[in-house]
């Protein structure tokens, strides 16, 4: 029964390669303000902000970094204080001991091997302690041309609901999306899904009736007749 429903839903919305263009266009029109919510002034602040954002909200990170970035301006500043002091300064972001250890390890490597600068290449960013692929992708994308596609909880959930991937592992989801999303859209595509996930395609109660993608989404709860009325040219 479930398989039959899923098959029928996918047949109704059409192949994903035909849908990806309209999906991006509609989301871009619906969320023209879809950009990173973290506040930063340069590459080092961007890197630290993204590292702190794990398991907490961007609003919370911005609240913490407003003071943090006045105190810590260079990699050396993070290494000049005792670990406990840095832990206290980032305590409100949660998991502060692990984050402080990762930040200090990253700053040490930046000083020793990168002249105190945040490296450009994804491969180099992944060498930094506490910097996983998602963090590295965010940093690279915000600095210019994306080398991958950021996959967070919103991107994973919406990609699955839209039938763009059947995978659950973020790395495998990213590979599926890279094959599907045109490279010029790699920067903005995650932001579009993230903001749509926050505003419309909410985890527990998606607002399918007001979603601009309801006729392109196999998981839509809107009936066929209603979908027709929402379809855009």
- Give me the mean pLDDT over the 60-79 stretch: 98
Query: Cα(155)–Cα(153) distance, rounded to whole angstroms?
Result: 6
Q: Is the torsion defined by CA of 179, 182, 188, 189 positive or negative?
A: negative
Closest by Cα among 152, 128, 144 to 48:
128
Residue found by looking up tokens 């989801």 in the block: 173
Q: What is the pLDDT of residues 110-149, one digit of tens each?
A: 999 999 999 999 999 999 999 999 999 999 999 988 999 9
Closest CA to 9 of 166, 161, 212, 157: 161
pLDDT digits (tens, 9 = 90+) for 83-114: 999 999 999 999 999 999 999 999 999 999 99
- Residue 198 contacts residue 33 (beta carbons within 8 Å): no
Crossing angle for the helix pair 170-180 and 153-161, to the nearest 10 degrees: 60
**Is 134 part of the annotated catalytic residue set?**
yes
Which candidate in 152, 167, 169, 176 is catalytic? 152
What are 163-201's pLDDT values in tens digits?
Answer: 999 999 999 999 999 999 999 999 999 999 999 999 999
| DSSP H helices in 33-113 | 43-52, 58-71, 75-80, 83-90, 96-113
DSSP-assigned letters across all residues of 32-50? TT-S-----SSHHHHHHHH
Render pLDDT for 28-56 as a digit per residue (tens, 0 to 9).
999 999 999 999 999 999 999 999 999 99
Q: How far apart are CA 105 and CA 185, in angstroms?
A: 33
User: Which residue from 44, 46, 33 is spatially nearest to 188, judged by alpha carbons?
Assistant: 33
Q: What is the pLDDT of residues 1-32, one digit of tens each?
A: 345 555 666 778 889 999 999 999 999 999 99
What's the confidence (pLDDT) of residue 229?
Answer: 43
Q: What local confidence, expressed as pLDDT, does residue 231 receive?
A: 45
Residue of 16, 89, 134, 185 marked catalytic: 134
152 annotated active-site: yes
Give the pTM.
0.85
């Amino acid at each position: 029964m479930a398989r039959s429903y899923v098959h029928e839903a996918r047949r109704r919305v059409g192949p994903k390669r035909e849908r990806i263009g309209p999906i991006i266009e509609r989301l871009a029109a619906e969320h023209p303000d879809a950009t990173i919510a973290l506040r930063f002034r340069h590459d080092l602040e961007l890197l630290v902000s993204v590292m702190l954002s794990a398991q907490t909200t961007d609003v919370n990170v911005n609240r913490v970094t407003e003071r943090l970035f006045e105190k810590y301006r260079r990699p050396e500043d993070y290494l000049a204080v005792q670990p406990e002091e840095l832990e206290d300064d980032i305590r409100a972001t949660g998991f502060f001991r692990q984050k402080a250890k990762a930040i200090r390890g990253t700053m040490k490597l930046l000083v020793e091997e990168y002249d105190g600068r945040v490296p450009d290449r994804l491969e180099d960013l992944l060498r930094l302690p506490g910097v996983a692929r998602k963090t590295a992708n965010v940093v690279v994308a915000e600095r210019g041309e994306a080398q991958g596609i950021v996959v967070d909880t919103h991107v994973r959930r919406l990609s699955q609901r839209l039938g763009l991937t059947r995978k659950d592992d973020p790395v495998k989801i990213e590979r599926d999306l890279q094959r599907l999303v045109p490279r010029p859209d790699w920067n903005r595509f995650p932001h579009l899904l993230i903001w749509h996930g926050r505003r419309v395609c909410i985890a527990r109660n998606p607002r399918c009736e007001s979603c601009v993608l309801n006729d392109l989404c196999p998981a839509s709860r809107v009936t066929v007749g209603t979908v027709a009325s929402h379809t855009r040219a």
